[in-house]
Structure 1
Amino acid sequence: MNLKRFCTRFREMRTCYVGTQVSFLDKIFYVVDYVGAFIVHGASISDYFAYGFYKLRYNGRKEYITYRRYHIIQDKCNVLSNRCLCREKNKFNELFKNFLGRAWIDVNDVTEEQFILFCNQHPILFVKETNGYRGIGTRKIETKKQDVKQIYADLVSDKGAHYIVEEQISQIQDLAEFHPWSINTIRIVTIYDTLNDQVHIMNARLRMGNKKNSVDNFHFEGIGANINIETGIIDTVGYDTHNNTYITHPLTGKQVIGFKIPYWEDCKSFVVKVAKNIPTVRYIGWDIVIQEGGNFVLIEGNDNADHDFQQLHNCGLWKQYKSIIKYF
């Protein structure tokens, strides 16, 4: 990161979390203090402000997973050559086909006729880049209203990308009520201790869409909230990347804090089964959809699950992670 970009990013994060009324001496303090936090704890600029490091000293700061500690977790848990099994959606869907609960095709592996037939079978589809992340590149197709033959031609002619197409899925009404314009998922982060064949659930969060976006991704204007692992009850306010907090969803008014996730025990059992299917990638953030009747659909697994999303408005998790990965 060059100096200009560093200064811009630093100013943006300081404004977001501290405000605009900052004296010159305070500005100097934040920069000097951040450098210390970077050296000692490996904190990124985002870590420093989002976790309130400017208000904490050593003992408080050592509780948090920082950017450096996040990479320690990844390097300890996830075999580098196998991370593509999560990052490339076509490989992921093939590996976890028994947990997907939806039809899908790899555009590069079907003919135009097969693509059109698939579109005729499903009125709404979602196009995703195989290497896409944070919902970037995902778009919705209404097959009765669009020229699917042209869509196929556009997708296969795009040499800079590789696409899959998936049918639309449904979600349980209780979760749809938060933001009906998107599928609102449960993010559960696990570490699989292969030596003892034990899956540790490290964190759980509800992810809700916002602003009528079609995805619920936190880094795409979405809202997150912590789920108590034992009870399945949301025990924090909702929050977004701009440091806004929400007791109720800003569009629908549905209360966030205190909501109990339906079928929570079954949801945890589902994610334990899923995690055991990939023993070489042991640290993963799973995105799960709960459907009516207690059915579960696996959307994706993230070997690089964001450490900030797990800790905001709750507590640092480094101690919990360290106690497990020290045996790996």
Structure 2
Amino acid sequence: MIRAWVSFLNKQADAAMARAMVWSIRSGSRKEFKHRQCCISREQKKMIRDYWNRYTKKNRPLFQALYSCMHGDFDVRYLPDDLYLTRMLGYLNDRDYAVLTNKCLQPLLFNCRQPETVFMRIKGSFYNADYQLISREEAIRLFLESGEAVVKPATRTHSGKGIRFHSAREAAEVSDFLDTHFDQVPSYIVQKVVRQHAALAAIHESSVNCLRVMTLLIDGQAVALSTVLKMGAGGSQVDNLGFGGIVCGVREDGSLREVAFSANGDQFGRHPQGFDFSGYPVPSFQAVREMAVKMAERLPYTRLIAWDIAVAEDGEPVLIEYNDIGELGFMQYANGPLFGDYTDQVLSEIFR
């Protein structure tokens, strides 16, 4: 009886949170629509309604109008943010397996090149790269041997929050650093810093500029839907938009598009440090996409995944992390409708 009540209350709480989230998303999109001075014709609004009414009555043409304005091309297939978060992700990705996004588990999940693990702290205990228990003193020694390292919280983090870079020569300095920034973080991973390809360092040298590849499992295979290049700016060591980074769409031939976007949708014809995006060839583009597709096949319970993949100095792709709640906004700003030619098929499956 108690379990039944707890389940009922949890469902009510989830429903209330979903309503609040939808209201916030729609309100924010309306403000952005006005701020960008976007417009939509009656004919375009009718086209959007006719298309989406085949699947659901809950779509708001506001979203397709805003994305068409930002990307520059009208299309009825742009995904609405509210339905993406409340219906599509929940259908495509089984939340029971969200635990697999724990960064300390990533080396176990994927048999591809990844940043070299220095050590991990998991639930308060320290482990080496082979998942063998070690002492805190041994972990500090490994940190000192690594030179510069990056420390990432294993869970409950996004947009680069909580990530720290550090180099030290003394054990006491490492100890103080960990106590100051990670004492209250029960699980984190320490990795050697990836040295990126010169062609990507030329854009913004301070950050490791990753390719974000969105993949979808459909018809018994994984496909790459959309790819953008994430870039740091202003000397930041991370490429996340939450820290001033920007993204630029990548065409199917591996060249950058003309315009990049910030987190709030501001457009950049050049990188803030002066780099010209238009037509710039991304190194190892096909190899990066092939890695994302191959690794996506290992996660059947998470059909829609956002992969962050760097390109090392030697041109080989390096898996930085994967996300089961990929950002929709900047992907559609940069490249158009996320599901592209698969839109009708995916919507028919979700809203059947």
Shorter-chain TM-score category? Answer: 0.7 to 0.9
1:238 to 260, 273, 295: 260
1:188 matched residue in structure 2: 213
1:128 matched residue in structure 2: 152
Q: CA separation of 1:152/1:68 partners in 2, compared to 1, >3 Å: closer, same or farther?
A: closer
In 1: Cα distance, 2:207 partner to 2:57 partner: 40
In 1: Cα distance, 2:62 partner to 2:136 partner: 47
1:221-258: CA deviations, max 9, x gaps? 111111112x111123112124332222111x221121
* Residue identity opposite 2:174 in structure 1: V
2:173 to 147, 160, 171: 147
5+ long unaligned stretches in structure 1: 20-25, 27-35
Q: CA separation of 1:165/1:15 partners in 2, compared to 1, >3 Å: closer, same or farther?
A: farther
Contact 1:210/1:221 (<8 A) preserved: yes
> TM-score, normalization: structure 2?
0.74
Moved more, 64-73 or 117-126: 64-73
2:282 to 261, 267, 281: 261
1:62-116: CA deviations, max 9, x gaps? 3211123323332232112012212x21123332264314224222332211211
Which secondary structure state, in structure 1, belongs to the residue aligned with residue 143 of structure 2?
helix
- CA drift at 1:173: 0.5
Count of aligned pairs: 302
Contact 1:216/1:223 (<8 A) preserved: yes
- CA drift at 1:44: 11
2:316 matched residue in structure 1: 295
Contact 2:213/2:307 (<8 A) preserved: yes
In 2: Cα distance, 1:8 partner to 1:66 partner: 13
Task: Supply the RMSD in Å over aligned alpha carbons.
Answer: 3.4
Which secondary structure state, in structure 2, belongs to the residue aligned with residue 83 of structure 1?
helix
* Residue identity opposite 2:107 in structure 1: N
Contact 2:115/2:192 (<8 A) preserved: no
1:109 matched residue in structure 2: 125
Q: CA separation of 1:307/1:156 partners in 2, compared to 1, >3 Å: closer, same or farther?
A: closer
In 2: Cα distance, 1:51 partner to 1:220 partner: 26
Matched, 1:93 2:119: no
1:240-294: CA deviations, max 9, x gaps? 124332222111x221121111122222222222112212112101000011232
Matched, 1:206 2:229: yes
Contact 1:192/1:282 (<8 A) preserved: yes
Matched, 1:248 2:252: no
Q: CA separation of 1:240/1:153 partners in 2, compared to 1, >3 Å: closer, same or farther?
A: closer
In 2: Cα distance, 1:211 partner to 1:51 partner: 29
Identity %: 22
1:73 matched residue in structure 2: 88
> TM-score, normalization: structure 1?
0.79
Contact 1:182/1:213 (<8 A) preserved: yes
